[in-house]
Amino acid sequence: MEFSNHVAACRPELYRFDQNQPRPAWQIFTDVAITTVTFNRLEHTKRLINSLYHKTQMPFTLYVFDQASDDGTAEYLGELRRIRNNVIIIRFPKNIGKARAFLHAQSEVRGDLFVHFDNDIEILSNYWLVHLLKAYYAYFLGTGACEVALGLRMLNQEEYGFRYATTIVNYRIPSAQNALPRTSYSSTSHDSQEREYLLDERVCLGLTHFLCGGAWSIPLTYFRRINWKDFYPIGIGGDDQFISQECARLGIQLAYIENGPLCYHHDWPYSDEKLELYARLKQERMVTDWPYLKWKAKDVMRRWLRR
């Protein structure tokens, strides 16, 4: 009885998302597409997908772009699609690279909010998608637009300075314009006697010029305007800088959610296995990948014409 009283005192009803309630004001995106790109490393993929289904707590569609994995990933994804009705699998005949998978995603993905996780990410925070949607809502209330790409905090990358937040801005969601559940954005105690402020929340965004690409989101209409067809880096990994530059070209603000959900990047710093894979793929594509060679030839020509 004493334990039950303690639970009741914590008011858990304030922190649950009810899918049967009328659409809350903060749900300005109603159709969320979550994507990941896989190439082997099955245990990483399982960890990410398990965390998605345990931590999301609201509807989404999962798009998995598999780069011809041969370690059991294809079989795992087939079983996942059999038991989950919100999974779409796109399988390529060879490893074409993350950037080219994104190029396919521009035509394959449906919805209004694009969210991407590298397959070695694990989501740590419950109701992370509620937090993400409320962050967009707070930005909209503060600026009148949703022209922003938001990144989630990756704990073990912060140790290496991988956030680059230059300015911290607080955006308020007044109680009168908010709806349950309460989140980590709450600016009053749930025990407060001032009930009119019970859902008063403030989202803290760290504005930046560089967004890490392991866990990020952007309105799908802007994702479709990123020039992935022009992106063919000499390195096989590392599209973060390109995404950041494209967002700047499109007039999109970049920001990290400072007081919101957390995730963990399991292969960071990169393992020897991943570095060896990048080195091998780089060599293979330099001699066998026609789109890469065409990009390289155009790049050399541009450099020569600038002289």
Segment 23-56, tens digit of pLDDT: 999 999 999 999 999 999 999 999 999 999 999 9
Task: Please count the structural domains in the chain.
Answer: 2
pLDDT at 32: 98
Distance CA 156, CA 212 (A): 13
pTM for the whole structure = 0.90
Distance CA 132, CA 217 (A): 9
Kindly list the strands in the beta sheet with 167-173, ordered across the sheet, starting from the edge strand earlier in the chain.
87-91, 61-66, 32-38, 113-117, 215-219, 148-151, 253-257, 201-208, 167-173
Do 124 and 197 fall into the same domain? yes
Distance CA 162, CA 269 (A): 11
pLDDT at 1: 47
Do 302 and 245 fall into the same domain? no
- Domain residues for the domain of 304 are 273-307
Low-confidence ranges of the chain (pLDDT < 70): 1-10, 192-195, 232-238, 286-287, 292, 307
Q: Residue 83, exposed/middle/buried by CB under 10 A (0-12, 13-18, 19+)? A: exposed
Is 244 in contact with 210 (CB distance < 8 Å)?
Answer: yes
Do 294 and 146 fall into the same domain? no
110: which 2 tokens? 């449906």
Do 153 and 298 fall into the same domain? no
What average pLDDT does the chain have? 89
Do 261 and 289 fall into the same domain? no
CATH number of the domain encompassing residue 228: 3.90.550.10
Do 261 and 306 fall into the same domain? no
Distance CA 118, CA 216 (A): 9
Do 122 and 192 fall into the same domain? yes
Dihedral sign computed on CA atoms, order 193, 198, 200, 204 = positive
Do 117 and 245 fall into the same domain? yes
Distance CA 200, CA 16 (A): 16
